[in-house]
Structures are given as C-alpha cells and as structure tokens.
Amino acid sequence: MNPIASIRGGLRRALAAVVVGGMLGTALRLAIELLVPHADAEPPLGILAANTAGALVLGLLVGRVWPVAPDWLRAGLGAGLLGSFTTFSAVAVALVGMTAADQALTAVAYLAATLVLGFGAAALGLRLGRRSDEPSAVDVIDEVTE
C-alpha cells in the first residue's frame, strides 16, 4: 500500500473520531449545564463538575488506554469527546460574568476551585489508571521534583 494513502487514511479516521467525539462531548456538557442551571452572577457548578469529571476520565484514559490505543481512538476520546466536554472558554465567560456583577471574589474562588479540582482529578485519574507493572506519570513527576 502507498504510504501516503495510509497516512491519509489514518488522518481521516482520526478526524472522523474527533468530529463524532466532539458532538458527543458537547451534547453531554450541555446536558449537565441544563441539569444544573445558574444565574449569571453565580458560579456555574455544572461546568465545574464537567471539567473535573473530564480531567479525571482523561487521567484514567492516559494511564490505562493511551499506551495500547490506536491514534484515531486517542484523538476521538481526548481532543474530541473530552476536549469538547471540558472547556476553559465556558469558565472564562463565567468569570467575566461574575466580575461584571461585582462578584470578583467569587470569580477568583471559582477559578481556584476549577484549577485545583481539575489538576487533582487528573492526577487521581493517572494514579488510578496506572498499570501495576509501570510507574504512573504522577510517580515520574514526583521523582523529578524530589
């Protein structure tokens, strides 16, 4: 088989996976936002929940699935599904809304909660998803920082 045709086929599969994953992730995030409504000046807890859950799942997938998954599946689940399910742009819009409503302290607390919960969930996912026979990315980071 022609190597260029093989590359193009792989790119098409990855693109299709990202498109399908993106549609599903966006629909899931919208469902959560509709289930957990909020006023403009309030922290959007649905977005916080989606971003935290997405970070946890991505950590699990990177620890467990990424080493054995084909490129198109990683693209569809990572950039597609979880990239559209989690979104920093929604956080930014919420922060602007809270700040415009004179809720700057709430905005700062919301941003801090988003970052702490997101990084914590990702680290937990990496640790839980780790194969028992290899160190996790968190272990490697711990070794480097010691």
The pLDDT value recorded for residue 141 is 60
The pLDDT value recorded for residue 70 is 93
Token digits of residue 7: 């590359």
Read off the pTM. 0.81
Residue in 62, 40, 54 with CA at minimum distance from that of residue 118? 54
Predicted confidence (pLDDT) per residue in 88-145, tens digit: 888 999 999 999 999 999 999 999 999 999 999 999 999 999 877 665 555 656 666 6
CA–CA distance, 123 with 57 (Å, rounded to integer)? 10
